[in-house]
Chain A
Amino acid sequence: MKKTCIAMLLAGGQGSRLYALTQSVAKPSVPFGGKYRIIDFPLSNCANSGIDTVGVLTQYRPLQLNSYIGSGQPWDLDVNNGGVYILPPYQSAGEKGSWFSGTANAIYQNLAFIENYDPENVLILSGDHIYKMDYADMLRDHLEHDAACTISVLQVSLEEATRFGMMNLGEDGYIKEFEEKPKHPKSDLASMGIYIFNWPKLRQYLIADDADPNSRHDFGHNIIPAMIADGEKIWPYHFQGYWRDVGTITSLWDANMDMLSPDLINLYDPNWPISARSPICPPHQTGPHAEISHSIVTEGCEIDGHVENSVLSPSVRIDVGANVLYSVLMNGAVVEAGATVEYAIIGENAVVRAGAHVGAAPDGSEGWSVATIGPDVEVRPGASVPAGAMISKSEEV
């Protein structure tokens, strides 16, 4: 049956800059903001925007992501004639089969999936962004401007512009030039990596791109510049609101801290719920010595220590006399009696034993950064992990 718009969610990235946190899971399934995993944001946005067909392109360590998404029921994406589909790379008869070699190639390899739904438009999403966005509004904008492609753009400062793909507009408001990480930016409109394409047009460009041996098969590097060169109508959708790329430890920590400020992004808005697959634990318990301030806590947690300015995922345990400050504790993390965790990210099921000390407050020095303890790591009693350290399972302290 014909669809107006379906979504393709790129969730195959390794997230190598999150190293210890993504050794055994794909970046989109990293816990975020207490109850969520990163992928909950684009999936919930789809559901809230009325997009009921989502292909999730996986490649790197997809096991946890697959089981997390499951039937798509938590996002109401378990529907007839649509729903959420995990799309791994695959082999065809007589061919060698290959990994996705770029963002555009991942979509190209799944032409058959898209053609099943014969959509008029395809929304391309990234699995590592934190934001709330009405894709239906973007689609209206796309259709109104008769665009071959609409790119969601965000106003950034000129200093930040050097880290993004920047869009230069013509007098008619359409995008005339795309510069990847320019040294001397000409505009302040950054691409958010969210695209809506007219499907027949995109199909044509994907096929041409696949035939080009010199292409990196990437939307930002190849497809969009090719469309611009051909004079296709490319419209900027001006997004206003909270949006963060959480590709690095610092940005992941920052964005988690933002969840404590409803002025930045309000997760309590019943009109735009972000949904997650719940582990269904009993409510969190505060013990007889608990002190919790300016923090978010969720189901299954047991808190008897001191927690300040922190974000706790389900089933975190903080024992009596422990101090947790400005930190992100992922599912099942444990901080034992008398231990201190500050300015740190503690991975899933990691244990900080009694009296240990992880991280340090910013001291103004240039080398300072957030300390990271990978999933399942045990920090031994009394051990000390300095600021900026990243400990993974193979190098326990």
Chain B
Amino acid sequence: MNDFQGLIFAYFTNPNLRELINVRTAASLPFCGRYRLIDFSLSSMRNAGIYDVGVIMQRDYQSLLDHLGGGKAWDMARRSGGLRMLPPFGLPEYHRGNYSGTMEALIAVGSYIQDIQSKYIVLLLGNMVANIDLTKPMKQHRRSGAEITAICTDRGGDGFRMTYVPGEDGFVKQLLVDTDDPKAGPVSLEGYIINRDTLLRMIDECRRQRIYLWHREALPRFLEQGGKMDCYVHTGYCALIRSVDSYFKANMDMLNPAIRHELFPADLPIFTKVREEVSTYYAEGAYSRNSLVADNCIVEGSLENCVVFSGARIGKGAQLKNCIVMSDCIVGRDSSLDYCIVDKDVSFSAGTVLTGSEKLPFVVPKGSKL
């Protein structure tokens, strides 16, 4: 039996994601032409042999449920264990609205965690873009004697907010919130490996004392009480998607072959739900440069620096630059789009012109008919 189980936080609906989270949580945001953000945390766990994974969700989770199904795509449709959806249950009566913090989410699914038999639990964010070989921090955690191992990155960037300051013994001395300066210490990817008993103890204490914030309250208390916390530094590409800006930038990063190859190596595949199986057709006169194009598209117009999801129809004479076009969009003839994020099922009639800017990409909400 595996000593590790997984928990993924998939309830975030950060307001900086604006129209993109009208219909979904950050974890189910479409990414890189065919994936959803949660595929990265699920696949990282799956590739490390963790098949028992709970997904913590709270609201607007229809899109997430559609994507996850029974967990088959990640080999998590198991007779025993496997993928578990954890919507809120057994909430205390004082609970109102959204989870106010990670600790509250953990308290809310406390009874699920109680039932976990594994010795260790891996916690990851559902809105993380990183392909982490978790076998390394898992091994480190078993050996170091730490109760918590924080998964960190050697690269800073938009969306990162925490830094750990190591002490002389190599274990974490202090947690700096709202700092992503790699000089101070490893920057947090906000993923953790934690002993089950430690997590249950923290949940119990925090429930009684109504402590709901993980990074600002629960972890500092753990350190104050002399808890042993180690860091593991992941060295590949990573991003945390918390805003339209970081969403746009991370998608555009995928156009860089070096970054894409680093994120999608052959030996650590990223799994996702498979849609219909048909290739993309480029008509005579089509133009496609420096773009990522998923299957089942028909391209008659021109694409430059674009990420296009499956089912798109790009009409003759249409010109798309610096755009993200999600599934099943129709772009009419001679339309011109620049710096747009076009959500699913949008259709543009012929000759539509829309221009955003790099700093402020134009977000076209799901299902719009223009």
Chain A contact residues, CB within 8 Å of chain B: 33-36, 40, 73-74, 260, 267-268, 270, 273-276, 278, 280-299, 302, 307, 311-312
Minimum C-beta distance from B80 to chain A (A): 19
Contact of A294 with B282 at beta-carbon distance under 8 Å, contacts A282-B292, A286-B303, A299-B34 already known = yes
Report B288-313 CB contacts with A as 1/0, cut-off 8 Å. 11111111101000010001110000
Contact of A296 with B279 at beta-carbon distance under 8 Å, contacts A280-B269, A302-B257 already known = yes
B272 beta carbon closer than 8 Å to chain A: yes
A residues in contact with B223, CB < 8 Å:
none
Q: Are B288 and A280 touching (Cβ within 8 A)?
A: no
B residues in contact with A311, CB < 8 Å:
279
Contact of A292 with B264 at beta-carbon distance under 8 Å, contacts A36-B277, A299-B34 already known = no
Q: Are B254 and A296 touching (Cβ within 8 A)?
A: no
Most B Cβ at <10 Å: residue of A73, A270, A286, A293? A286
Q: Are B277 and A273 touching (Cβ within 8 A)?
A: yes
Q: Are A35 and B277 touching (Cβ within 8 A)?
A: yes
Q: Are B289 and A284 touching (Cβ within 8 A)?
A: no
Contact of A296 with B281 at beta-carbon distance under 8 Å, contacts A282-B260, A285-B257 already known = yes
A356–B282 Cα gap in the complex (Å)?
26
Contact of A35 with B295 at beta-carbon distance under 8 Å, contacts A282-B33, A282-B264 already known = yes
Q: Closest B residue to A36 by CB, please name it.
A: B277
Chain B: interface size category = 35 or more
Minimum C-beta distance from B131 to chain A (A): 11
Q: Are B285 and A34 touching (Cβ within 8 A)?
A: no
Contact of A285 with B292 at beta-carbon distance under 8 Å, contacts A34-B279, A276-B277, A299-B34 already known = yes
A residues in contact with B320, CB < 8 Å:
none
Report B257-294 CB contacts with A as 1/0, cut-off 8 Å. 10010001000011110101111111111111111111
Q: Closest B residue to A303 by CB, please name it.
A: B288
Q: Are A286 and B254 touching (Cβ within 8 A)?
A: no
Can you list the 9 inter-chain pairs with the closest CB atoms, starting with the nearest? A283-B33, A34-B279, A296-B279, A298-B279, A283-B294, A286-B288, A292-B282, A276-B277, A283-B292
Given contacts A282-B32, A298-B279, 10 further A-B contacts (CB under 8 A): A270-B276, A274-B277, A280-B270, A282-B33, A282-B292, A283-B34, A283-B294, A285-B291, A293-B284, A298-B295
Q: Closest A residue to B288 by CB, please name it.
A: A286
Minimum C-beta distance from B156 to chain A (A): 25
B residues in contact with A299, CB < 8 Å:
34, 294-295
Q: Are B277 and A297 touching (Cβ within 8 A)?
A: no
Q: Are B294 and A290 touching (Cβ within 8 A)?
A: no
